[in-house]
């Protein structure tokens, strides 16, 4: 099964591989950790002072995280949108059971 996102995932993964050919899965995850930390900081600032500028900062950081997720999914070999949809179904089932 192929999702609507798979073409963009491939595009992001190929670009990322060309831009950072030396990146290993371990260094990829370290970059992801740093980007998630930056997103967290941007969200803290936004929570204290919602503004167009702070919204843009959150969007930029979230975009970085998304690109890294897409490129990691491409590198590992799974469709991120399908994986997310599968997780939502599992979580919905768990929610109904609680």
Q: Residue 1: what pLDDT?
A: 66
Confidence band of 5 (pLDDT split at 50, 70, 90) = confident
Question: Model-level pTM?
Answer: 0.87
Mean predicted confidence (pLDDT) in 37-59: 96
Q: What are the structure tokens assigned to 21, written together?
A: 């050919």
pLDDT averaged over the chain?
93
Q: Where are the alpha helices (DSSP H) in the chain?
A: 6-19, 25-48, 52-76, 80-97
Residue 56: band (very low, low, confident or very high) from pLDDT cuts 50, 70, 90? very high
What distance in Å separates the CA atoms of residue 12 and residue 25, rounded to the nearest whole number?
A: 16
- Provide the percentage of residues in the chain whose pLDDT is more than 90: 87
Looking at domain 6-97, its CATH superfamily turns out to be MazG-like (1.10.287.1080)
CB–CB of 69/31 below 8 Å?
no
């Amino acid at each position: 099964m192929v999702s609507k996102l798979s073409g963009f995932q491939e595009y992001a993964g190929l670009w990322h591989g060309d831009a950072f050919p030396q990146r290993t899965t371990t260094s990829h995850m370290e970059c992801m950790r740093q980007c998630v930390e930056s997103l967290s900081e941007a969200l803290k600032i936004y929570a204290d002072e919602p503004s167009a500028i702070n919204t843009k900062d959150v969007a930029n950081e979230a975009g970085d995280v998304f690109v890294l997720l897409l490129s990691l999914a491409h590198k590992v070999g799974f469709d991120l949108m399908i994986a997310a949809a599968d997780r939502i179904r599992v979580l919905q089932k768990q929610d109904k059971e609680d």
